[in-house]
Amino acid sequence: RGCTVVTGGLGEVMAAAARGAKSAGGTTIGILPGETRADANEWIDHVVVTGIGHARNLAVAASGDAVIAVGGSWGTLAEIGFASRLGRRVVVLEPGWELEGVERAGTPAEAVELALRSRP
């Protein structure tokens, strides 16, 4: 759908999101916490190395029109908080964090549909 997906660029959920975006014809950006481009997962088109550790979560949250949060790690919670404070739509894929003002989605496809409502 012509979307650019921004993630933390590493493995696990971030790699799955990038892989899904690539399979749908999207472009991917990975904002890495460290200083080594080689740490990016194989589905990242554009790598941004920061050397700022977890502080990069602000850059991830600020880079999109919406945030889809998957899982329940502290980094995910930080991104939810940053995105909310920045006025971004936040969609949590169940069974993730339950927070006021955050939309919930039962499937990845539903989460994408909700997030796309924020596109300019």
Sheet bearing 27-32, strands edge to edge: 4-7, 27-32, 46-49
- Residues contacting residue 1 through CB under 8 Å, at least 6 positions apart: 24, 25, 26, 116
**pLDDT at residue number 38:** 98
For range 75-99, the mean pLDDT: 94
Is residue 120 pLDDT above 80, yes or no?
Answer: no
On average, the pLDDT of the chain sits at 94
DSSP conformation letters of 66-112: EEEEES--HHHHHHHHHHHHTT-EEEEETTS---TT-EEESSHHHHH
**pLDDT at residue number 1:** 72
Tokens of 48: 């941004």
DSSP conformation letters of 25-64: T-EEEEEESSS-GGGS-TT-SEEEE-S-GGGHHHHHHHTS
To the question of pTM greater than 0.85 for the whole model, the response is yes
| Residue 6, helix vs strand vs coil | strand
Which single residue is written with the structure tokens 């977890």? 54
Q: Which of the four pLDDT bands, split at 50, 70 and 90, describes residue 35?
A: very high
Q: What is the pLDDT of residues 40-82, one digit of tens each?
A: 999 999 999 999 999 999 999 999 999 999 988 899 999 999 9
**pLDDT at residue number 119:** 74
**pLDDT at residue number 71:** 87
For range 82-96, the mean pLDDT: 95
